Amino acid sequence: MIGLSRPRRNRTFEGLALDERLSAKDAVARCGLQVVDIDTGNAVEWLRYEHTIEELYDVAVIPGVRQAEAVGFRADDIQREIVPG
C-alpha cells in the first residue's frame, strides 16, 4: 500500500523533479492510498481524498479489519473510540 500526499502550501518541497513530471503529464498531485500488486507493479485499488485531507503521514494495515474509521482530534469522537490500554 502506498500513501499519496499533495504538496504542502508552505512551499517546503517546491522545485522537486516530481513537479516537472506532473507538469509534463498534465497531471496534478493527489492525496490518497494505492494498493499495488508487487508482482506486476500495477495499482489494483485506490482511495482518493478530494477534500480536507492533503497529507498522509503513515499507512498501516490492520489484519481482520474490514471497515476502519478515521477519527479526528477536534470532536469528542476520539474519547469514545480510543481506550487507553
At 1-11, the pLDDT tens digits run 888 888 777 77
Put simply, whether the predicted model's pTM sits higher than 0.75 gets the answer: no
DSSP H stretches of helix in the chain:
17-24, 77-81
Query: Integer distance in angstroms from the first to the last C-alpha of the chain?
Result: 28
Cβ-in-10-Å burial (0-12, 13-18, 19+) of 51 comes to exposed
pLDDT at 53 over 90: no
* Structural domain spans, the chain: 2-81
Give the Cα separation of 55 and 45 in Å (integer). 19
CA–CA distance, 1 with 54 (Å, rounded to integer): 17
User: What percentage of the chain carries pLDDT values higher than 70?
Assistant: 86
Higher-confidence residue: 74 or 62? 62
